[in-house]
Amino acid sequence: MVRFKRSIYLSVMFSLLTMLSIVLAQAAVDIFTLKRLSAGSTGFERQWVEGAALLGDVAYAAEAFRMDEVEGALALGQPGRNAAAAAATLRRRNVNDDERLYKNLMAANRHGGLAAFDAAWARYMADDAAWRRGPGNGQALPGGRLDTDYAKVSQAITAQVDVHEAAGLRRAAAEARMARGAIRLNIAAALLSVVLAAVTLAAAKHFVLAPLRAIARAMTRLAAGARDIAMPGRNRHDEIGEMATACEVFRLNVLALDRAHEAARQAEEQAQLLARHDALTGLPNRRVFSADLEAAVARAQKGQASYALLLIDLDDFKKVNDIQGHQAGDLVLCAVARRLEAAVRKQDTLARLGGDEFAIITQGGPDFYEHQDQTRRFAARLLGLIRHPIEMGETKAEIGASIGICLFQAGAGDVTSLLRAADIAMYRAKQSGRFTFRFFEQSMDDEMRAREALERDVARAITDGSIKPHYQPLVDIGRGRIRGFEALARWTHPTRGAVPPDEFIPIIEQLGLTGELSSAILRQACRDARNWPDDICVAVNISPFELKDEDFPVRITKILQEEGLAPNRLEVEITESALVSDLPAAKAILNALQANGVTISLDDFGTGYSSLYHLRELKFDKVKIDRSFVQAMRGNAESEKIIDAILGLTCSLHLPTVAEGIEDLPTLRMLTAKGCELGQGYYFGKAIPAEAVDALLARGVEAAPAA
């Protein structure tokens, strides 16, 4: 559909031109009327007024003629009569002249005729001439016929004057009519102009002012922040439509700007959030924590309050991460974050410092000891919350934590020393068996320094070969024959003496040096075993972390080749925790090792997770019953039943089984009676250095004597 563009400008111009036309037409009519009136008046004046004057002159001359006639009749002498006659002749000429002038003036007017006067005047002149020629030479007073003639002349002039009067009246009536017509026309034009002006005004109000106001209101609302505005007048096709469209475009631009502004604001907010928050858990990060701690230290220095700084480190989180995967680790961290969040107050600071480390700063009252009690209860509550199992799809993760606490008030050290103090307390908690908390005490600082030194030393010990394998015999308990040795890492510290593996292996794991330790122990074990009889095998313990390393079988094979030990003389002991994270990957690694002829033992059987499941899923060559069952067996019917069940199971699966932790003869007898073929424990011997192995092999161990 073709839309015609309307224009307010053209409409206004049309209105104004119409009004102007009316005014001009009105003026033209007025001018025309006035001209006509003026022309009429001039003509009337020339013909009828001058004519009436000439008639007056004619009447006057006729009357003077009559008087001269009378004067001549009354004159006593001839000279008087002659003078009167001469005057009369002059008057008669005047009459004729004036009559001629009148006739000339009125020549074009049909009412200007003087026929009646001419007839009366001719008769009067004839009778006058007769009177002058009559007896008495006209001495007698004129009268009779002459009076009658004169009266008729006078009547004729009066009648003609009446004609002039009638013409004047007609003329006046015509002019009055014309004036009335002009007035009516003027009134009509004025009314039309008023109506037109009113219509124009109403139209301007309705079509121009009201829409303009509506647009102005919409723009005011837009300026005030409203955005959901329907811009009025957009459907119009005139200048207001153009303006409304322009305003709508402006509104859309404002909306786009708003959106861009909002996006920029969100991006900035996000950047702020990222700068201040930990991306995984959403908790404040180390930056926020440091600032808050500094502020707390400043307030504490002023003696305004006492504070508690709690460093929370998850226990065995690294295992979850390495064994169950990073996704599971992330889940655990988020779950712990939410639990901690629920436990802290609004005014406390809770932050994730990184990894599995969280921190809390709480403000206490002025009483330091009361604050200490409160913090103790708070820490215990936190531990309880963290220990609660974490649902992870079909499985659950049970995680613990160690908390180090440092209370500070006026006179406290700086941020670095406080952090170090809390850190030391946290390590003390870890050393104290984990799942616990410790308050910092000055004495811990020295121990911490010692621990740090130990960390340095243990790292050096791996590289310089100070950590060596000792060998504990694995015995055929029925025959009292040594079947092999388990390589157990031993470290003699230059100043501290022997450090137990339970102490240094976790440090090595924390330092991420497990692979290096395993390789060093394995290489040394191979070298040592190479000197033993061929039927004596060597068992090495493998850290869970290594079962995630695809290259692990290649590494082992390479070491076996380099050290010249037959793969069938090597046993690899793995604990169940190593299998939990990625069973298919562990399976592939173990299969590869078995394919090379290496034996795989399931260590510490019964203490791990889903032992039976793992027995079914993986093809183990040997099972080692954890020493806790063996040692509890004597005098504990339940443990004995468990040993019976395990032996029954492994027997039916044709799996050789080693009982760990045999310390005395009664235990050995019980196990022999139950059909257990292999054993290990202090009864046969503790782990001995490589140099002592030959002697032990030569000496042999004691078999179980018959009861």
Task: State the residues that interact with ligand C2E by CB under 6 A.
Answer: 472, 488-489, 500-502, 505, 517-518, 521, 541-543, 573, 603-604, 627, 661-663, 680-682, 687
CB-based contact 597:590 (threshold 8 Å): no
Region of 233-241, 336-344, 456-464, 596-604 interacting with Mg ion (CB under 5 A): 596-604
Q: Which residue's CB comes closest to Mg ion? A: 573
Distance (Å, whole) CA 124 – CA 155: 13
Bridge partners (DSSP) of residue 311 are 359, 404
Burial of 228 (0-12, 13-18, 19+ CB in 10 A): exposed
Q: Which does 521 bind (CB under 5 to 8 A by kind): Mg ion, ligand C2E, none?
A: ligand C2E
In contact, 147 and 140? CB cutoff 8 Å: no
Q: Does residue 650 touch Mg ion according to CB under 5 A?
A: no
Tell me how far, at minimum, the Cβ of 322 lies from Mg ion, in Å: 19
Using CB atoms within 10 A of its CB, is residue 426 exposed (0-12), middle (13-18) or buried (19+)? Answer: buried
State the minimum distance, in angstroms, from the CB of residue 478 to ligand C2E.
19
Report the C-alpha gap between 541 and 652 in whole angstroms. 26
Strand partners, 363: 307
603 binding Mg ion? (CB under 5 A): yes
Q: Which does 572 bind (CB under 5 to 8 A by kind): ligand C2E, Mg ion, none?
A: none
Beta carbon nearer to Mg ion, 128 or 603: 603
Q: Is 62 within 8 Å of 146 (Cβ atoms)? A: no
The minimum distance between CB 578 and ligand C2E, in angstroms, equals 10
Question: Is 604 near Mg ion (CB under 5 A)?
Answer: yes
Please say which residue, 382 or 590, places its beta carbon nearer to ligand C2E.
590
Site for Mg ion contains 128 (CB under 5 A): no
User: Can you spell out the DSSP letters for 549-585?
Assistant: -TTHHHHHHHHHHHHT--GGGEEEEE-THHHHS-HHH
Distance CA 484, CA 486 (A): 7
Binding to Mg ion (CB under 5 A) within 540-559 occurs at 541
Q: Which does 354 bind (CB under 5 to 8 A by kind): Mg ion, ligand C2E, none?
A: none
Question: Between the CA atoms of 134, 137, 139 and 141, what dihedral angle is there, to the nearest 10 degrees?
Answer: 20
The site for Mg ion, by CB under 5 A, has a size of: 5
Query: Using an 8 Å Cβ cutoff, are 703 and 500 in contact?
Result: no
CB of 576 to Mg ion, least distance (A): 11
472 binds, among Mg ion, ligand C2E, none (CB under 5 to 8 A by kind): ligand C2E
- Cβ atoms of 405 and 308 within 8 Å: the answer is yes
What pairing do the DSSP bridges indicate for beta strands 678-679 and 467-476?
Answer: antiparallel
Residue 194 tokens, joined: 């008023």
- Interaction of residue 576 with Mg ion, rule CB under 5 A: no
Q: How far is the CB of 487 from Mg ion (least distance, A)?
A: 9
Contact 370, 364 (CB under 8 A): yes
Choose the contact partner of 488 out of ligand C2E, Mg ion, none; CB within 5 to 8 A by kind. Answer: ligand C2E
Residue 288 tokens read as 């926020």
- CA–CA dist 638, 235 (Å, integer): 92
Please state the closest distance from residue 607 (CB atom) to Mg ion, in A.
9
Nearer to ligand C2E, 538 or 542 (CB): 542
Q: Which is nearer to Mg ion, 54 or 474 (by Cβ)? A: 474
Residue 657, interface with Mg ion (CB under 5 A)?
no
Among Mg ion, ligand C2E, none, the one that 501 touches (CB under a kind-dependent 5 to 8 A) is: ligand C2E
Smallest distance, Å, CB 696 to ligand C2E?
15
Q: One symbol per residue from 214 to 233: x for binding Mg ion (CB under 5 A), - otherwise; what is it?
A: --------------------
Min dist CB 425 to ligand C2E, Å, is 27
The 3-class secondary structure across 401-447, one letter per residue, is EEEEEEEECCCCCCHHHHHHHHHHHHHHHHHCCCCCEEECCHHHHHH
Residue 63: partners with Cβ closer than 8 Å, 6 or more residues away? 154
Nearer to ligand C2E, 335 or 630 (CB): 630
Partner whose footprint covers residue 418, from ligand C2E, Mg ion, none (CB < 5 to 8 Å by kind): none
573 near Mg ion, judged by CB under 5 A: yes
Give the per-residue contact string, 501-540, with Mg ion (x = CB under 5 A; - = no): ----------------------------------------
Residues that bind Mg ion (CB under 5 A): 541, 573, 603-604, 660
